[in-house]
């Protein structure tokens, strides 16, 4: 009994032989680990929160900064995005790129068949930088519409068609929608043949043929042109609001002509250099002075300003400002009728309207924009190679111009450098016109010593 009892006691002691007692060193180690985890948590938790809130450590600046956002889109869509030369994987336009460290980024948008768009933009802390609806221009080659030796060309105010004159004295029309070219009239063989102006409706056009003035309705080409009775007129222009009214100038003064009734009425008995009619008011330039007078009350004569201009012509689309252009001396005068003696004078050889209160003007080396509510025009660019023609892209964010027989387009986004793209390089390019959709360019160019009417699709 004792032997078994001893055996039993021995077995009960065996289960305690591997138990180790906790020492003071073990307790210190556990406390250290516990404290270390707490410290790590206290450090890591704010970092995780900061990270989730968009903060990052900027190695270049050596500090933690709140990141920014870039919102970018293009027309057309699904273009590749590059940041500092590296393509953004998994994103095409339109895209919202988040968690970008504050810095300057070289941004490129690229799509096959289109010219790249590049610009350096700055990303700021806790803010959003936008590059929205960036227009990508087609990398395209023009097509030949027809071979004409064009001597004069004028697009309609709505940019849906153009009338042009050929060397063999045909008056032709080009419809930008269906690309149809039609003959409007065969002019006689008098020396002077010139397109004068379109009516405000873009339906009728005024053409000088010798000493005659013809009004052609382009929407009814089968009709014979209306001939304005010859009364020794040396200047005829449209009423700005009514395409049944024209005004004519001869040595006796200014006449109002109703094309519908063929009635003629003298409204100013003075031989002036040029004039502009606005309802019952007539502005006129006479012996270096601009006047305003009521047509129905000649006693109400007011001096607006005095200026020297050898061959001034009013080029108004509205009456918030008076605009006079002297193409001979390449000078533009911008006059506020309500503020006398503060005429703006700029070197300019032509203008192009975007809308009634915004136009661009240009000289041989510079392109400017003027918004009528502003006091001064804004220069867009200076071009060392020279400028021969400039026009608006209809959305008002780009300007197209001819320089050194190259057609180029420049953006108005002046963050960093403005993008300038060469669309076409040709020979003797002129009569540049863009349709109202901003999609197709039309121009004349010489190919193999032969003049061609060309079309270039850019959108």
Is 294 inside any structural domain?
Answer: no
For residue 95, the tally of other CB atoms under 10 A from its CB is: 16
Share of the chain above pLDDT 70, in %: 88
Is 189 inside any structural domain?
Answer: no
Is 418 inside any structural domain?
Answer: no
pLDDT given at position 1: 45
> Does residue 120 share a domain with residue 80?
yes
Q: What is the pLDDT of residues 300-335, one digit of tens each?
A: 899 999 988 888 999 988 888 899 999 889 999 998
pLDDT given at position 221: 85
> Does residue 118 share a domain with residue 70?
yes
> Does residue 127 share a domain with residue 74?
yes
Structural domain harbouring 41: 21-53
Is 451 inside any structural domain?
Answer: no
Q: How many domains, the chain?
A: 2
Q: What is the pLDDT of residues 242-267, one digit of tens each?
A: 999 999 999 999 999 999 998 999 99
> Does residue 91 share a domain with residue 27?
no
> Does residue 108 share a domain with residue 49?
no
pLDDT given at position 376: 87
Range ranked top by mean pLDDT from 2-16, 229-243, 244-258: 244-258
What's the mean pLDDT in 397-404?
A: 96
Is 407 inside any structural domain?
Answer: no
Query: Band of the pLDDT at 386, cuts 50, 70, 90?
Result: very high
Is 104 inside any structural domain?
Answer: yes
pLDDT given at position 16: 52
Domain end point (choices 13, 30, 53): 53
What's the mean pLDDT in 396-421?
A: 94
d(CA 301, CA 317): 23
Domain end point (choices 135, 159, 179): 135
> Does residue 47 share a domain with residue 67?
no
Domain end point (choices 106, 135, 164): 135
Here the CATH number for the domain that contains residue 81 is 2.60.40.10
| 2, pLDDT greater than 50 | no
> Does residue 69 share a domain with residue 38?
no
Is 42 inside any structural domain?
Answer: yes
Q: Which residue has the higher pLDDT, 16 or 180?
A: 180
Residues paired with 95 in a beta bridge: 72
Q: Which residue has the higher pLDDT, 451 or 44?
A: 451
What's the mean pLDDT in 98-116?
A: 93
Is 456 inside any structural domain?
Answer: no
Q: Strands 128-135 and 68-75, how do they pair?
A: parallel
Determine which of 15-24, 89-98, 140-149, 182-191 has the lowest per-residue pLDDT on average: 15-24
What's the mean pLDDT in 164-193?
A: 90
């Amino acid at each position: 009994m004792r032997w078994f009892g001893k055996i039993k006691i021995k077995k009960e002691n065996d289960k305690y032989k591997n138990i180790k007692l906790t020492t003071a060193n073990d307790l210190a180690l556990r406390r250290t680990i516990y404290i270390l985890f707490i410290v790590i948590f206290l450090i890591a938790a704010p970092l995780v929160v900061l990270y989730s809130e968009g903060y990052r450590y900027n190695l270049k600046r050596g500090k933690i900064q709140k990141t920014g956002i870039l919102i970018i889109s293009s027309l057309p869509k699904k273009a590749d995005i590059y940041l500092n030369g590296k393509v953004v994987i998994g994103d095409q336009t339109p895209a919202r790129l988040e968690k970008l460290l504050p810095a300057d980024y070289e941004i490129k948008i690229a799509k096959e068949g289109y010219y790249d768009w590049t610009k350096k933009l700055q990303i700021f802390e806790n803010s959003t930088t936008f590059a929205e609806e960036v227009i990508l221009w087609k990398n395209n080659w023009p097509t030949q519409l027809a071979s004409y030796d064009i001597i004069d060309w004028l697009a309609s105010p709505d940019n849906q068609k153009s009338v042009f004159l050929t060397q063999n004295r045909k008056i032709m029309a080009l419809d930008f929608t269906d690309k149809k070219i039609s003959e409007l009239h065969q002019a006689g063989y008098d020396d002077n043949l010139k397109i004068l102006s379109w009516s405000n409706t873009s339906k009728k056009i005024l053409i000088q043929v010798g000493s005659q003035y013809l009004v052609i309705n382009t929407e009814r080409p089968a009709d014979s042109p209306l001939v304005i009775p010859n009364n020794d007129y040396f200047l005829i222009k449209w009423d700005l609001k009514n395409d049944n009214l024209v005004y004519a100038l001869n040595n006796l003064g200014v006449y109002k002509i109703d094309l519908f009734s063929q009635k003629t009425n003298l409204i100013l008995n003075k031989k002036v250099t040029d004039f502009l009619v606005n309802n019952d008011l007539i502005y006129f330039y006479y012996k270096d002075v601009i006047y305003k007078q009521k047509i129905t009350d000649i006693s109400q004569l007011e001096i607006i300003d005095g200026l020297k201009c050898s061959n001034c012509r009013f080029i108004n689309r509205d009456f918030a400002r008076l605009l006079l252009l002297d193409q001979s001396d390449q000078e533009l005068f911008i006059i506020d009728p309500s503020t006398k003696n503060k005429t703006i004078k700029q070197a300019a050889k032509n203008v192009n309207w975007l809308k009634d209160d915004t136009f661009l003007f240009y000289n041989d080396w510079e392109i400017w924009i003027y918004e009528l509510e502003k006091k001064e025009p804004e220069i867009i660019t200076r071009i060392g190679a020279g400028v021969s023609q400039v026009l608006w892209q209809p959305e008002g964010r780009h300007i197209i111009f001819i320089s050194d027989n190259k057609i180029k387009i420049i953006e108005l986004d002046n963050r960093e450098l403005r993008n300038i793209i060469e669309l076409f390089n040709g020979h003797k390019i002129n009569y540049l016109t863009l349709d109202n959709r901003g999609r197709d360019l039309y121009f004349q160019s010489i190919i193999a010593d032969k003049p061609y009417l060309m079309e270039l699709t850019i959108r």
